[in-house]
Structure 1
Amino acid sequence: MAENYELIIRPKRHAFDINFKELWQYRDLLNMFVKRDVVTVYKQTILGPIWFVVQPILTTAIYILVFGNIAKISTDGVPGALFYLSGVVLWNYFAESFNTTSKTFKENADIFGKVYFPRLIMPLAKITSGLIKFGIQFVFFLAVYAFYLITQETSVQPNMHILLLPLLVLLMAMFGLGAGLIFTSLTTKYRDLTFLIQFGVQLLMYATPVIYPLSTIPEGKLKMLIMANPITPLMETFKFAFLGAGHFSWMSLGYSIVFATTLLTAGIVVFHKTERNFIDTV
């Protein structure tokens, strides 16, 4: 029996007309883009994937020097290397996911204008390839973590909340993808936003307890503002699970889940609406 190779491409009728089944049909293309993102970036470098580890090492060293030794910011009794590294590893995944997906339309205008495939494949590939980098950095964090547990006298102890790690990583991916989809859609018309994205991510980091514990913030409007940041509960939960320091609340985590789901939904809808005519404005 002859196979049917007929493919019918129909125009999207409205913003919510999203074919998620089509994403699964193009999973091989997703795998190809993931391999491209991981391999080509470091193919002609000497250290290769070791750069994935060098970045958090250097960042943590600078944080220890500036915020630990000079500014004398508390780490809730946690060794500085562990405290800063735990924040850097998780934050890096969000920051890179957001930065890379926010350039989707700008960097892929040529291929989008020549061949058809679900456009959402491209940002999903960025999120997935970033997950590989996060995995390497997380293994390095575990190595440092084990070193302190075995050789150093410290009060750091893991607890059962460590089981929430997959959820925390998933939520970070949702935040990065959702925000990235919205910004890449806006930058097709408002190019000025491209100059604000990287700067905005840096500012957001200071509004998130990455380099300081939430306990050092005095009660008041500032603490309420930081708690309103939906990424704050994720950072605090991660540190609470692995370090035993930080603030954990199921209500706060639920707030992050609702916020991430809403943001991702809005991002997909805006992205889907923009992809229909972005080639005329990009």
Structure 2
Amino acid sequence: MNKTEFSEEESNLSNKFSSTQETENTEQWDAVIESRHSLLDLNLKELWHYRDLLVLFVRRDFVTVYKQTILGPLWFFIQPILTTITFTIIFGNVAQLSTDGAPKLVFYMAGITLWNYFSTCLTSVSGVFNVNASIFGKVYFPRLIMPLTIVISNLMKFGVQFLLFLCFVGYYYSQNEIRPNTWIAATPIVIILMALISMGIGLILSSMTTKYKDLNQLIGFGVQLFMYATPVIYPSSTVPLDYQWVVELNPLVGLFDYMRFAYLGVGEFTILDLVYPSIFSIVILAIGVLVFNKTQKTFMDTV
């Protein structure tokens, strides 16, 4: 090879290298996956880009849960009705617990409707890493999609049970046994607060269960005990004065008091009763998201 041919080949290689660099500089990627080191680097905008996946997961949960059952979606009605009847017999008739003068059936259904949504969301979100480990290990998507899916899909179930509760309210209202008031307009706020609190606590527990497997057994038992610390089967007015301050530490108390006051017209409730649950929901959700964001980077090593 003479000097002229060598110079031409060197020039061609230089041009190809330059064009490759220009292509790399001008190329734009649709998505970039990189390791994050900042605890506050949440990248919440990414959730909006994956909204179609969120809708897909919600539809999957709603359809597949009762797909191979005989009664199907009727279980949405059967479960709260059977629980309400059981509570009415045991706590209303046998134990003779007070209902503040409200009909026993609708009183217990008011508490059960709210509690079912809270407890289901909390227990499901707390196991999100263990249940979805196979999916998380194969494909990338924002991990917060799964807790949001649980909260939204259970919200649809809550909506069905809430319609059943409204039917009972309508019946007893026609019999002049309850006195609903204009506070029912604040129902969406109460539901949102319930969702935020359950999701926040669930996110914290989910991050702990990846390392401490025993918590999976304790969560279900703990939720059952927590129900008795919440006015689900009794009005908060029946709590002795010496223990009122302990009960008021529970952020759910104001929400259950609201439910009975707004729809049944019993008990006491003011707008101040929503201040503590609102502050608590924001704080617990922020802590939960931060802890969840930190755990999701390394959970595959321990799950």
Q: How does 1:246-261 map to 2 (within 5 A)?
A: 246-261=267-282
> Following the alignment from structure 2 to structure 1, what is the Cα–Cα distance between the partners of residues 173 and 271?
27
Assess if the C-alpha contact under 8 Å between 2:169 and 2:264 holds in 1.
no
Tell me which residue corresponds to 1:44: 68
Partner of residue 88 from structure 2, selected from 64, 70, 91: 64
SS at match of 2:241: coil
Q: Per-residue displacement from partner, 1:119-157 (whole Å, max 9, x unpaired)?
A: 00001000000000000000000111111112x241x11
Q: Distance in 1 between matches of 2:28 and 2:260?
A: 53
One-letter identity of the residue aligned with 2:301 = D
Cα distance in structure 1, aligned partners of 2:268 and 2:125 = 30
Alignment of 1:14-93 (within 5 A): 14-93=38-117
- Amino acid of the structure 2 residue aligned with 1:228: L
The yes-or-no answer on 1:263 pairing with 2:287 is no
Q: From 244, 247, 269, give the equivalent of 1:223.
A: 244
Identify which range, 125-134 or 248-257, moves more after superposition: 248-257
Any idea what the Cα deviations from partners look like across 1:185-214, whole Å, max 9, x if unmatched? 000101111111111111111001110011
1:50, distance to aligned residue in structure 2 (A): 0.8
- In the alignment, the residues of structure 1 paired with residue 91 and residue 79 of structure 2 have an alpha-carbon distance, to the nearest angstrom, of 18
Equivalent AA in structure 1 for residue 72 of structure 2 = G
Aligned pairs for 1:1-282 within 5 A = 6-150=30-174, 152-154=175-177, 156-220=178-242, 222-282=243-303
- Displacement, 1:251? 2.4
2:21 matched residue in structure 1: none
- Residue 247 of structure 1 and its aligned partner are, at CA, apart by 2.4
TM-score (norm 2): 0.89
Which whole-Å CA distance do the structure 1 matches of 2:267 and 2:56 have between them? Answer: 40
- Distance apart, 1:246 and its partner CA: 2.0
Contact 1:56/1:137 (CA < 8 Å) preserved in 2?
Answer: yes
Looking at structure 2, the residues matched to 6 and 238 of structure 1 have their Cα atoms a distance apart, in angstroms, of 47
Cα drift, residue 4 of structure 1: 6.0
* Identity across the alignment (%): 51
1:226 shift after superposition:
0.9
Structure 1: which 5+ runs fail to align?
none
RMSD (Å), alpha carbons: 1.2
Aligned partner of 2:61: which letter?
Answer: D
Q: Quick one: which amino acid aligns to residue 85 of structure 2?
A: A
Distance 2:101 2:28 in 1: 65
How many residue pairs are counted as aligned between the two chains? 277
Q: Give the distance between the partners of 1:213 and 1:252, measured in 2 at CA.
A: 15
What is the CA-CA distance between 1:5 and the residue it aligns to? 5.7
CA distance in 2, matches of 1:274, 1:146: 47
Cα distance between partner residues in 2 of 1:212 and 1:198: 21
